[in-house]
Amino acid sequence: MFKSTARITAIGSYVPERRITNHDLEELVETNDEWIVKRTGIKERRIAHEEEFTSDISYQAVKNLMERYDKSVDDVDMIIVCTLTPDFKTPSVASLIQAKLGIKNTDAIDLNAACAGFTYGLYVANGLITSGLNKKILVIGADTLSKITDYKDRTTCVLFGDGGGAFLVEYDEQQPSFISSYLGSEGEDRNKLYCTNLSKRMNGEDLIDSGYIVQNGREVYKWAVNTVPKGMQSVMKNTAIDLKDVDLFVPHSANLRMIESICERSEFPIERTLYSLVDYGNTSSATIPLSLDKGVREGKIRNGNKLLLYGFGGGLAHAGLLINWIL
d(C-alpha 23, C-alpha 43), whole Å: 9
Residues in the chain: 327
d(C-alpha 136, C-alpha 172), whole Å: 10
Distance of CA 169 to the CA centre of its chain: 16
Catalytic hit among 115, 157, 195, 263? 115
Q: Residue 252 catalytic?
A: yes
Q: Residue 115 catalytic?
A: yes
d(C-alpha 176, C-alpha 11), whole Å: 16
Q: What is the rounded (10 degree) CA torsion for 251, 252, 257, 259?
A: -10
Catalytic hit among 252, 255, 263, 318? 252
Walk along the chain (327 residues) and give the pLDDT tens digit of each residue.
Answer: 579 999 999 999 999 999 999 999 999 999 999 999 999 999 999 999 999 999 999 999 999 999 999 999 999 999 999 999 999 999 999 999 999 999 999 999 999 999 999 999 999 999 999 999 999 999 999 999 999 999 998 888 999 999 999 999 999 999 999 999 999 997 676 667 656 665 677 677 776 767 776 777 788 889 999 999 999 999 999 898 999 999 999 999 999 999 999 999 999 999 999 999 999 999 999 999 999 999 999 999 999 999 999 999 987 999 999 999 999
Catalytic hit among 22, 134, 255, 282? 282
d(C-alpha 223, C-alpha 227), whole Å: 6
- C-alpha distance from residue 52 to each of 47, 64, 187, 256, 280 (Å): 9, 17, 32, 28, 17
